Amino acid sequence: MAIPFDADWCRVTTSKDTATAVARWAELEPTLAGADLDTVCRNARSRDVAESDATLAMLLRLAVTDVLARRVIVEALMSRLVPIAATLARQGGEAYDDVLTELAGWAWELAATTAADRWPMLLAPKLARLAKRRYLAARPHRPVVHLGDNDPPATANSLDEQLAVYEVGAFLERAVTSGTISAAGACVLRALAVTDATDRVIAQHLGRGVAGTKKARERSLTQLRTWRPALALYAA
């Protein structure tokens, strides 16, 4: 599904057939009665996990036979696919647009073939992560390029696979407020999730020592793995 995403979505939102199709959804999913496309897409992207899960489950049920529902699912996942594509493009030395297009293609296939009840919760991050897995599985010999020093690649523990980048800040603030991680650890993890950089690069960016940065990263990630709100994300 090679598409110019913004232009294609503009076409979808302005098509005279879209409103008719969305209205028809209410016949199969009564809770969508009266909703327009913007509302459905906004709910599917919601930071409220319950709202997002409920909307995506409805769209997955529709997507078995409905092309528009598949397209809405792909659009709802874009905020998660974008940082994944950026990371994969940097690692593989590939064009970002090409990687994003292929990830969206896998998301399109998953939208049509994934059962709505496959997962009890966190449908958006799990669909995005599965699209990434399908992408990687299709490239078993894809070279991985590590930049900087010899630190392990940041993606091994990166949060951007489970969370959209814009959600990372709020997630880490909750972890600090709960006493799970330190504020310093949150700064390191935020930089890790947003930049996907090595410990050395993050240390330079934050004005910290490399050893202290690595220690803060490892300690904070260990602490997060036992924090209840994070358990579901790591299991995704």
List, for residues 214-228, the tens digit of each pLDDT value.
999 889 888 887 887
Task: Assess if residue 147 is contained within a domain.
Answer: no
The answer, yes or no, to whether residue 145 has pLDDT greater than 60, is no
Q: Is the pTM of this model over 0.75?
A: no
Q: Are residues 87 and 182 in the same domain?
A: no
Last residue in a domain, options 111, 137, 163 = 137
Q: Are residues 100 and 28 in the same domain?
A: yes
Rounded-to-integer distance, Cα 60 and Cα 6, Å: 22
pLDDT of residue 143: 43
Number of domains in the chain: 2
The answer, yes or no, to whether residue 235 has pLDDT greater than 70, is no
- Contact assessment for residue 96 and residue 81, using Cβ atoms and an 8 Å cutoff: no
Q: Are residues 31 and 126 in the same domain?
A: yes
Residue 226's domain comprises 154-235
pLDDT of residue 12: 85
- Contact assessment for residue 200 and residue 189, using Cβ atoms and an 8 Å cutoff: no
Q: Are residues 14 and 114 in the same domain?
A: yes
Task: Assess if residue 145 is contained within a domain.
Answer: no
CA dihedral over 105, 80, 77, 115, signed as positive or negative:
positive
Span of 21-25, 179-183, 191-195 with lowest mean pLDDT = 191-195
Q: Are residues 127 and 174 in the same domain?
A: no
Q: Are residues 113 and 198 in the same domain?
A: no
Task: Assess if residue 74 is contained within a domain.
Answer: yes
Q: Are residues 116 and 209 in the same domain?
A: no
Task: Assess if residue 30 is contained within a domain.
Answer: yes
Rounded-to-integer distance, Cα 44 and Cα 62, Å: 14
Mean pLDDT (the chain) is 80
Q: Are residues 34 and 65 in the same domain?
A: yes
The answer, yes or no, to whether residue 211 has pLDDT greater than 70, is yes
